[in-house]
Structure 1
Amino acid sequence: MITTLIGAGINGAVLLILVFLNRSKEIKLEQLKNDLSMEKEILNQKRELYSQFAKYLNVFVNDRYVGDELKMNKKKLLESYDHLWLWANEELLKNISLFFDTLVKKENGQFISDDEIKSLHREIIISLRKDLGVKTVSIDKEDYKFISFR
Structure 2
Amino acid sequence: MNILLQIVEIILLGLLLIMIFFKKGINDSLSGGIGALADFKKYKNQDKLVQKRDVYIELVNSMRIFIKDDGFNAHESRDNQRKFLKAYDQSWLWSSDRVQHSLSEYMQFKITYNEQIEKLSDEEKNQKKLEEQKLFAKCVLEMRKDIGFQDTDLTVEDYKFIKF
TM-score (norm 2): 0.72
Residues 1:93 and 2:93 aligned together: no
Which residue of structure 2 aligns with residue 56 of structure 1? 62
Shift in Å, 1:27: 1.3
Q: Which structure has the larger Rg over C-alpha atoms?
A: 1
**Structure 2 Cα separation of the partners of residues 64 and 90 of structure 1:** 33
Farther off after superposition, 127-136 or 41-50: 127-136
What stretches of structure 2 of length at least 5 have no aligned partner?
1-25
CA distances 1:33-83 after superposition (whole Å, capped 9, x unpaired) = 111111111111111111111111111113265122233112211111110
Change (3 A) 1:39 1:130: same
Moved segments of 4+, more than 6 Å: none
The count of corresponding residues between Structure 1 and Structure 2 is 130
Q: Percent identity?
A: 23
TM-score (norm 1): 0.78
Which residue of structure 2 aligns with residue 119 of structure 1? 134
